[in-house]
Structures are given as structure tokens and as C-alpha cells.
Amino acid sequence: MAAVDPMVGQGRAFRRPIEGVVKRAPRGGDWRKPLSTSVSVTDAISIFGAIIAGYVMHGLAAGFTARAATLSAIVALVWVGSVRLPPGSIHQIVNDKMREFRRLATASLMIFGSLALVSIVLQVAYPRDLLLSTLPVGFVALVVTRLVWANCVVRCRLSGAFKTNVLVVGGMQAGIELAEAFENDISSEYELVGIRHLGRFDREHDDLILHGRRIPVFGDEQTIVDAARKTGATGVVVVSTEQLGSQTLQKLIWDLDEIDARVIVAPGVSDVASPRMSVRPVAGTPLVIVDRPQYASARTMGKAIFDRVFAVFALVAFSPLMIVTAVAIKLESRGPVFYRSERMGIHGRPFQMIKYRSMVENADQQVYSLIDASGGSREQLLFKMHNDPRITRVGRVIRKLSIDELPQLFNVLTGEMSIVGPRPPLAREVAVYTSEMSRRLLVRPGVTGLWQVSGRSNLSVEQSMQLDLYYVDNWSMSFDLAIIAKTVRAVLSGSGAY
């Protein structure tokens, strides 16, 4: 489900020098420390550059005394140290950007708050104009360089760099599932290099071929440490802790430390966002705490207000485009400008969803004949087809650019839909939902959603459903904002729409 975050494409001007640093990135080795050092170097450049830019912007170069220079250097060094990303947390620049941005903002505000306090207590003069300009310029520079680093790391991982070779300890099925997860997440740092099978070992698994790669499988004749040595693994993912036991697992941690490898324990849960998970030690035993699903939070007044305000601004901004689209539809073919379709909203309540008409008149009456002609089933959850003969010429354009979805902003104003949410389903689709699928109806359907920015029409029904359920369980306001930002890129690229 995971794709490259479109935000990491920003800051192209910084990309070339950074790529020069990372192109020699090691594969499967200890790459975290040199990467952390490289990030700190760009942090220093950004921060010192922000201070110099502040002096230039406010014409303070003439007053750049030795005292001011010393104080500025101290501020810059402390700032660099406070935002430094430790090697163990280097994954945040790719996998947890919002947390990283919050950390940068907190550290920056604390530095300048402390500077203001010190200036008052010690009566050290520090230009206020410089203070007010350096903070935002420096923070923006740090955010941009983090985004560039994230983009470069993802690009390098596509070629095999910045990867951690891992040995999976557990059953064959668990190893295959993990390998599939690593393969589907292009931003993942982990690459499966072997499986240490626990329990009864079947020799036919010796030559496991996965995605064209041969994955060695080890049985009881090999210890876990020996298997890690043979495969060159620098990480061991344990998926069956109950078979090892706590004492064996602790000894394994000590033994792997001698070969510079670390233990990664898979908690056995999936489709849970990291903010919902925390580790809490109880009597020396770490427990993974999973917070309740967040669908109730997606029904709060704050989200409803945001939806309506966003819809008003969007309608005003796109009103010229909407008028032109309506005229084009009316001129090309017979029928109404708008297409109304009964959809199921929150808790399965029906409502009339509004779209621009992109098909010929009475297109709904041709659905079953097209399903039959394509060899599909009338019970299928979602019917989509390439080169649908019902789509008009104007319809192809507005569907490609998602202009046909703009009238749904009126549904948002009436509270029937949200800006971000699951795809609004038809009644015939809801009729064949399982109990798990019905969880999509716990929140309002959205004009855009996670599945639209993760492949759009190119996704299978099962993948779209899984993404919608992930959204329902892991909702947050920052998640909505990220999806909106990704929607802009998906629409502009036109990828996956038909």
C-alpha cells in the first residue's frame, strides 16, 4: 500500500549535491551512522545559511561585531545539535515525516525561546529582526533538506542501497508474508536474505524462490547466529517469540551483538499506523500497546468544520473551471450536466452523490450488459473497465483530471460526505459486504481517499478495500492533510484514472 510520498519531490535544487553523498551508500551494512552524519552536515549548512541570510536580509552586516558573531555561532551549533537525527532514528526521515517535522519545530522554538530568555537575563543584545527572520528561514530549510534526503534515500533503496539485510526467524509462511510486505513497500529498509525455520523442517523448502531471488532456508542444524553469519544479515526479525521463550531471546540478543546484528521483534499485528502503537515495559517485559481504532475521531466537530471550510474555498477557487465544464458537457451530448447516483453514506444511510456527467445518458442501464460482455460477475464489488464505450469525449478529459468529482463538494457542504474518506459505495456493493468490509461505513465517504492516491483505478478491489479500512482505523488530521497533498500530485499526473 505504501507509495513514495509526493512531498519528498520538493527541493530539487538541493538534490544533486546530496545524491553525490548517498550514491556510495552501503548495502546491508552499517549505513545509519554515515547517513546520520551526512544529514547533520546539511543541517549545519541550512542553519548557518539561515543566520547569514538573516543578516543580509535586514542589512545588519555592518553591525556584525565579534560578540554578535560569537553568539550567532553558539546559537547555530546548539541548533544543529538539538535537531541532530541519531543513527537509530534515521528511518524517521522516510517513514515518519510528520513526527520528524514536529521534532524540528519543537527543537527550533526551544532554541530561540532560550535565546530570548538569555538575552533578557544576561542583557546581551541580539537583533530582534535577525531573531524573527532566522527562525522561519532555518526551519523551512531544515524541512526542505529532510524532504530531499527522504527522496534520495527512497531512490537509493530502489537500487539496493540503504538496505538492512534481515534473517527471519519463524515459520515459512511468516517469512513469505514479510518478504511480500518488504517488496510492496518501496520505502522499506529491510531486505529478506534468509529464513531460519522453527519447528519441523521440510527439506523441500531449501530452495525457496521469491520474486526471482533464491532465499536460503535453514533448519535445526544451523543456529540462528550461524544462519545470520552465512547470509550476511545485520538484522534478525523474530516472528515466533513464543517458540523461543524470553530467556532464549535475551541470549540471542547478546549473541547477535557480537556479530554487529540486532534483533527486530515482529508483534504480529498489521495495518496499524505507528502513532497507535507504543511499547510499555511491565516488570521488565516490553508490551506492545495498540490504541483503539480511530474512526470515532474521524466523526468529530473539528473534522466537520474543516471539511466545510475547505469545500467553500475550493468551490470559490474552481468556480470558473466548473462553469466551463458544465457548458462543455451540455454542448457535446444530450442529457443533464450533473449525474446523481445513490450511494451509501455513514452507517449505511443512502444519499444522492453529485458528479459531472461523464457518460452518455442512461449509462447505468448498460452496466449489466457490459459486465456480462466482459465475463465478469454481477455480484462483484466494483465494476471498472478500460475504454468504457459509455464515456464521452469530454468525459474522458474530466475523468482523467478528476474534474468530474468537483460537484461532490456540495455533498460535503450538506454533511453527507467528507473531503477525505473511503470511496462512497453503491447499495449493491454494500449488500455483499462482509462484517469487516462494513467498517468502511463507520465514517463519512470522501471526495478523495487513501486508495485514490495509492494507485487509483489500477488497484484491485481487495487492495482498495484494505486501504479504506486502514484509513478508518488509523485516521488523524495530519493523515487527511497528507492525503490531500498527495491527491494534488495524483490528479496532475493523471496516473491510474480512467
Which pLDDT belongs to residue 144?
A: 92
Note the pLDDT tens digit of each residue in 163-172: 888 898 887 7
Averaged pLDDT score across all residues of the chain? 79
Of residues 248 and 187, more confidently modeled: 248
Q: Report residue 129's pLDDT band, with 50, 70 and 90 as the boundaries.
A: low
Give residue 12's pLDDT band: very low, low, confident or very high (50, 70, 90).
very low
Q: What percent of the chain has pLDDT over 70?
A: 79
Arithmetic mean of pLDDT, 31-41: 86
Residue 251: predicted pLDDT? 87
- Going by pLDDT thresholds of 50, 70 and 90, the confidence category of residue 346 is very high
Instruction: Please report the pLDDT score of residue 309 as a whole number.
Output: 95
Give me the pLDDT at residue 455, please: 62
pLDDT band at residue 383, thresholds of 50, 70 and 90? low
Q: Identify the pLDDT of residue 7.
A: 34
Q: Cα separation of 282 and 280, whole Å?
A: 6
* Model confidence at 409: pLDDT above 50: yes
More confident residue, 363 or 203: 363
pLDDT at 27 over 70: no
User: 422 vs 27, 198, 347, 404, CA distance in Å?
Assistant: 38, 40, 13, 17
Q: What pLDDT is stored for residue 363 in this prediction?
A: 64
pLDDT at position 198 is: 79
* Mean pLDDT of the region 195-211: 68
Residue 260 is predicted with a pLDDT of: 84
Mean pLDDT of 298-305: 88
**What confidence score (pLDDT) does residue 13 get?**
39
Domains of the chain: 6-158 (no CATH), 164-266 (3.40.50.1980), 297-493 (no CATH)
Q: What pLDDT is attached to residue 385?
A: 59
pLDDT at 244 over 80: no
Give residue 60's pLDDT: 58
Q: What is the pLDDT of residue 372?
A: 54
Query: pLDDT for 265-299, tens place per residue?
Result: 887 777 777 777 777 777 777 778 888 888 888 88
Most confident of 32-41, 211-220, 384-393: 32-41
> Would the pLDDT of 123 be above 70?
no
The confidence band for 415, taking pLDDT boundaries of 50, 70 and 90, is very high
Tell me which residue has cell 469487516. Answer: 436
Return the higher-pLDDT residue of 396 and 496: 396
Most confident range, picked from 77-91, 279-293, 435-449: 435-449
The identity of residue 126, as a single letter, is Y
More confident site: 372 or 147: 147
